[in-house]
Amino acid sequence: MSDARKIAIVTGGGTGLGQACVKQLLADGFKVWSLGLDVEEKIDHPDLVEQHFDITDGKAIAELAGSFEGVDALVNAAGTILHDRREFTNEGFDKVMEVNFRGTQQLCFALEVQLKASRGAIVNFASMWSIFGSAGNPAYSASKGAIESFTRALAASWAADGVRTNAVAPGWVKTRMAVNAMSNPDRAGPILKRIPMARWGEPREVGQVVGFLASPAASYINGVTLPIDGGYAIA
């Protein structure tokens, strides 16, 4: 590939859905910077740069932005969730909001010039909990609802400069975050019964949609949050 190949940045790129996005973008010909604190599967690819990165670190974000002249795709997949009612504490609530929402917001703002220079695309990660309330996870729900609204705002603000901003809202997909539900028959049964497609999603299915939204094939799509849930939200 030539040095003119497109640049993609993926937060949370070492695990779960973020890593599925990294794989898809590499297949689509991007040079990919994968940012995160953990790696599930080691990917050996000449166009992949893996960087240990904390998306709540403002200094690190500023340094990252300064190393690029242009960015063609920014995928904000990094996120966290706390269980056992820890999100019902101020400390727990703040932690989830800081990672899920503020991390996304800070990366977008820091890379505004670079995204506009390349007329790039942003894909943020909302969730099915942007639509429904999670009884055990108020911070996760709030953060994902905020991402959906933030996505619409950036879409309205930056489109005139050539930047498209969209989001995906994954449902029940086979990741570490969903393993507790998938392995508990009392939860898995009702969930699968509600999903019209009657199965769990595969991470690659999310990666493929993100790849589409970052591609010229989605050139007139701006400001949407696309559910990837097998129909769960409409059942």
Task: Residue 78: count other Cβ atoms within 10 Å of its Cβ.
Answer: 26
Q: Please tell me the distance from the alpha carbon of residue 149 to that of residue 27, in angstroms, as a whole number.
A: 30
- Nearest alpha carbon to residue 164 among 181, 176, 172, 152: 152
The answer to whether 46 and 26 have CB atoms below 8 angstroms apart is no
Q: Output the pLDDT for position 180.
A: 83
Q: What is the 8-class DSSP label of residue 51?
A: E
Q: Output the pLDDT for position 2.
A: 40
Q: Output the pLDDT for position 150.
A: 98
CATH entry, 7-234, from 1.10.3720.10, 3.40.50.720, 3.30.70.420, 3.90.180.10:
3.40.50.720
User: pTM for the full model?
Assistant: 0.95
- Nearest alpha carbon to residue 143 among 111, 180, 185, 96: 96
Q: In what order do the strands lie in the sheet with 7-11?
A: 48-52, 31-36, 7-11, 73-76, 121-125, 164-170, 225-228
pLDDT tens, position by position, for the chain (235 residues)?
Answer: 345 689 999 999 999 999 999 999 999 999 999 999 999 999 999 999 999 999 999 999 999 999 999 999 999 999 999 999 999 999 999 999 999 999 999 999 999 999 999 999 999 999 999 999 899 999 999 999 999 999 999 999 999 999 999 999 999 999 988 888 888 888 999 999 999 999 999 999 999 999 999 999 999 999 999 999 999 999 9
Q: Output the pLDDT for position 3.
A: 52
Q: Output the pLDDT for position 7.
A: 98
Q: Output the pLDDT for position 86.
A: 98
Catalytic residue flag (residue 220)? no
Q: Please tell me the distance from the alpha carbon of residue 105 to that of residue 102, in angstroms, as a whole number.
A: 5
Pinpoint the alpha helices (H) of 131-202: 138-158, 179-182, 185-194
Among candidate residues 101, 129, 140, 200, the one labeled active-site is 140
Domain boundaries, the chain: 7-234
What angle in degrees, to the nearest 10, is found between the helix axes of 138-158 and 103-110? Answer: 20
